[in-house]
Structure 1
Amino acid sequence: MTPTKTSSHARSTLSLLAVASATAWMTLPTDAEAATRMRCSHQLPPAHHISKVIDRWAAEVKTLSDGDLDVQVFGSDSLIKANDNILAVAKGDIECAFSLNFQWGKTLPLMNVTVGPYTMSSIEAWKKWPTSEAATFLEERLLKKGVKNVVWMFQTNTSVFTSKGKPLLKPVDFQGLKMRGIGPAFDRGLKAMGATPVAIPGSEVYQALATGVIDTAITDVAAAWSRKYYEVQDHMTVVPVLAAYLHGYVNPGWYDKLTDKDKAALKKAGEDAAAWALEASQEAAANAPAELESKGVKVHVATPEENAAFKAAMAPAFAEGFADETGADGRKLLELVQKLQ
């Protein structure tokens, strides 16, 4: 059989198909052109007001980066455990995480400056915090520890001492109680009142209270609601004893590879989220006492005299511990914090 000759028209069609195929292959998205993955781990449950702010922040980052940053949020310790978040980001295992300031413990005890009993309870001071010298000072120290800070989220200046059977109204009431601790310096104040601090991640406190591993806890008044402490504790004393914040941070190596546009998106989203967190925290703190009472909790707001007694018992012990842990940097940071008052 005589081979069939390919017509010039057919050859032309095949050539065009080959060019089209090659062009399509060349224009397929490469890894470099795809959205940059940004996995963010945190410990808060979905109902927590700051958890909702984190979700809003993530959406804002995606919007401002025009989808270049694919922010994936993993809450409730679902990706990395709370105490492992800092190391995971510093090592580059994940790109981003959020931690409470006192979770820095001995790694960077400067972060506990706002945990000092009755040190920074002013909302006006917190409005100034994100762009303050104090915040910049901490951001520089965080970078030295291997993480780049991208957002400050005020969580509370209103805490509760939780208990079962009777309220905790004065320092002597803490005598002999096993209590969830916050961190070395703050726990000195608890010990000064006769309590025995126990280190427990926030996600495990409910179970510890339910099973009697600890007798009492201190937590954000809104967290007492969102974490359902009312199911295992029936008395709560509201005290402005400490100020806590959650902060978001990323791996510096990962950050340095971002475009200027994406870095600007993170900066703007961080500034916006700081304001959202302040608003959400004030609202949650205002609503939580009544919500707790609706579940049968006996809520007592500490009087000025009761707060003075707590401060007198706790503040000297904290100050001594904070000075020992932070040295000259701690003294400098306290001076910067005082400028905000």
Structure 2
Amino acid sequence: MNYKAITAASLCALMLGAGAGAAETWRYAFEEAMDEVQGKFAQKFKEEVEANSDNEVQLFPFGTLGESADIMEQAQSGILQFVDQSPGFTGALIPEAQVFFVPYLLPADEGQLIKFFRDSKAIHELFPPLYADQGLELLTMFPEGEVMMTTTKPIAGPADLNEVKFRVMTNPLLVASYQAFGATPTPLPWGEVYGALQTGIIQGQENPAFFIESTKMYEVANNITRAGHNNFTTAVMANKEFFDGLSDADKTVVRNAIAAAFDYTVDYQSGLTETSLQKIKEARPDVTITTLTEEQRAPFKATAAAVEAKFLEIGGPQAKPILDQMKADLAAAAGN
């Protein structure tokens, strides 16, 4: 299904909400369903805002207002007050955000990963001005789970990705990463992915296990490979003009709600990957789930330096400071 079209009724409803009294009605769109990780974060944010202020938060899950590009445009224009979107899509606006697609940069250890996202100077100090330049207030970034490949044939190494048309987000560095892996990267809007796998237009895609399970990607690509190459990252932003115009009290409400939603979502994700994989096996017993050994991962890891170099080439003027700071932040999270 393609959700590109936005109904006139939806836009009309949003624009009416932008009139008198709209300061108390905040609209928040995200890239997943209500029962997926971004939806859980959004619901907790709404709960906290409404419990601690007179404001109301309206939630718009994926497809309600269009594809990822649509909701970003609506957030920048002020139709939406809040948006949750992966750097995979904001990379075109903020090239430095592509750093999250350097393979094997983020740690596999969950404790280190969460500490990094909580404390990272790159996230909390270096990225906000870059988002502000695009009319966005960066409120937080958080991980959504280990990224896994789902393909129509088994994958044990880069040679198995040769000539595989692999769906990627519209992100130049992610394209470069899968080129380095040996695949043929094929950018597609999410709404077209299931059908493209079903008809053979593409032969693979990547996402966390919960998303593979909830969207039933295993029905059209029954090989799941855990190469350990990344963790899906997303960012919650506000329209900057809207946020700057809030009272100090409302800014505090927003920031506290974001912090509470972050903690809630971290707890919610505990054990989610393995539970989701088990549900997939129960739904389709013939699904193959392969965790690559360190020896099998080695040729994938060997591509990281080239992708990192590509990031420094295309990642914008702050690419090197951000990459250097992220490495320092990751070392601190690891206790080094």
User: Which TM-score tier does this pair reach, normalised by the shorter chain?
Assistant: 0.7 to 0.9
In structure 2, the CA distance between the partners of 1:90 and 1:34, relative to structure 1 (3 Å rule), is: closer
| Structure 1, gaps ≥5 residues long | 1-30
Secondary structure in structure 2 of the residue aligned to 1:141: helix
Secondary structure in structure 1 of the residue aligned to 2:176: helix
Question: Counterpart in 2 of 1:71?
Answer: 57
Of the three residues 308, 312, 318, the one matched with 1:319 is 308
> How many angstroms apart in 1 are the aligned matches of 2:292 and 2:168?
20
In structure 2, the CA distance between the partners of 1:253 and 1:111, relative to structure 1 (3 Å rule), is: same
Secondary structure in structure 1 of the residue aligned to 2:64: coil
The superposition leaves residues 114-157 of structure 1 with CA deviations (integer Å, 9 ceiling, x where unpaired) of 2210101243143232442111211121011110122323212x
The superposition leaves residues 236-274 of structure 1 with CA deviations (integer Å, 9 ceiling, x where unpaired) of 111221122222111111112212111101101111212
Question: Counterpart in 1 of 2:103?
Answer: 117
Question: Counterpart in 1 of 2:11?
Answer: none
User: Structure 1 residue 246 and structure 2 residue 262: aligned?
Assistant: no
Question: Counterpart in 2 of 1:209?
Answer: 197
TM-superposed deviation, 1:81: 2.2
> How many angstroms apart in 2 are the aligned matches of 1:128 and 1:160?
21
User: Structure 1 residue 306 and structure 2 residue 293: aligned?
Assistant: no
Question: Counterpart in 2 of 1:144?
Answer: 133
Secondary structure in structure 2 of the residue aligned to 1:339: helix
In structure 2, the CA distance between the partners of 1:36 and 1:330, relative to structure 1 (3 Å rule), is: same
Contact 1:43 1:203 in 2 (8 A): no
> How many angstroms apart in 1 are the aligned matches of 2:122 and 2:76?
22
Question: Counterpart in 2 of 1:178?
Answer: 165
Deviates more, 1:222-231 or 1:43-52: 43-52
TM-superposed deviation, 1:192: 2.4
User: Structure 1 residue 86 and structure 2 residue 72: aligned?
Assistant: yes
User: Which runs of structure 2 are paired with 1:184-333 in the superposition (5 Å)?
Assistant: 184-294=172-282, 295-296=284-285, 297-312=287-302, 314-333=303-322
Deviates more, 1:221-230 or 1:185-194: 185-194
User: Which runs of structure 2 are paired with 1:17-36 in the superposition (5 Å)?
Assistant: 36=24
User: Structure 1 residue 167 and structure 2 residue 154: aligned?
Assistant: yes
Secondary structure in structure 2 of the residue aligned to 1:258: coil
User: Structure 1 residue 43 and structure 2 residue 31: aligned?
Assistant: yes
> How many angstroms apart in 2 are the aligned matches of 1:83 and 1:107?
11
In structure 2, the CA distance between the partners of 1:39 and 1:73, relative to structure 1 (3 Å rule), is: same
Question: Counterpart in 2 of 1:101?
Answer: 87
Contact 2:41 2:262 in 1 (8 A): no
In structure 2, the CA distance between the partners of 1:145 and 1:33, relative to structure 1 (3 Å rule), is: closer
> How many angstroms apart in 2 are the aligned matches of 1:85 and 1:248?
12
Normalized against structure 1, the TM-score is what?
0.84
Of the three residues 310, 324, 333, the one matched with 1:335 is 324
Contact 2:243 2:251 in 1 (8 A): yes
- 2:186 corresponds to which letter in structure 1? V
- 1:55 corresponds to which letter in structure 2? Q
User: Structure 1 residue 128 and structure 2 residue 122: aligned?
Assistant: no
> How many angstroms apart in 2 are the aligned matches of 1:192 and 1:325?
16
- 1:83 corresponds to which letter in structure 2? A
- 1:243 corresponds to which letter in structure 2? N
Secondary structure in structure 2 of the residue aligned to 1:305: helix
Identity of aligned residues (%): 23
TM-superposed deviation, 1:101: 1.5
In structure 2, the CA distance between the partners of 1:46 and 1:33, relative to structure 1 (3 Å rule), is: closer
Secondary structure in structure 1 of the residue aligned to 2:315: helix
Secondary structure in structure 2 of the residue aligned to 1:151: strand
In structure 2, the CA distance between the partners of 1:56 and 1:120, relative to structure 1 (3 Å rule), is: same
In structure 2, the CA distance between the partners of 1:320 and 1:203, relative to structure 1 (3 Å rule), is: same
Question: Counterpart in 2 of 1:12?
Answer: none
Secondary structure in structure 2 of the residue aligned to 1:106: coil
Instruction: Report the RMSD for the aligned CA atoms in angstroms.
Output: 1.9
| Structure 2, gaps ≥5 residues long | 1-18, 331-336
Contact 1:149 1:247 in 2 (8 A): yes
- 2:121 corresponds to which letter in structure 1? E
In structure 2, the CA distance between the partners of 1:227 and 1:184, relative to structure 1 (3 Å rule), is: same
TM-superposed deviation, 1:35: 6.0
Contact 2:147 2:209 in 1 (8 A): yes
Aligned length: 306
TM-superposed deviation, 1:47: 3.1
Secondary structure in structure 2 of the residue aligned to 1:340: helix
> How many angstroms apart in 1 are the aligned matches of 2:22 and 2:164?
54
Question: Counterpart in 1 of 2:6?
Answer: none
TM-superposed deviation, 1:311: 1.2
- 2:87 corresponds to which letter in structure 1? N
Higher Cα radius of gyration: 1
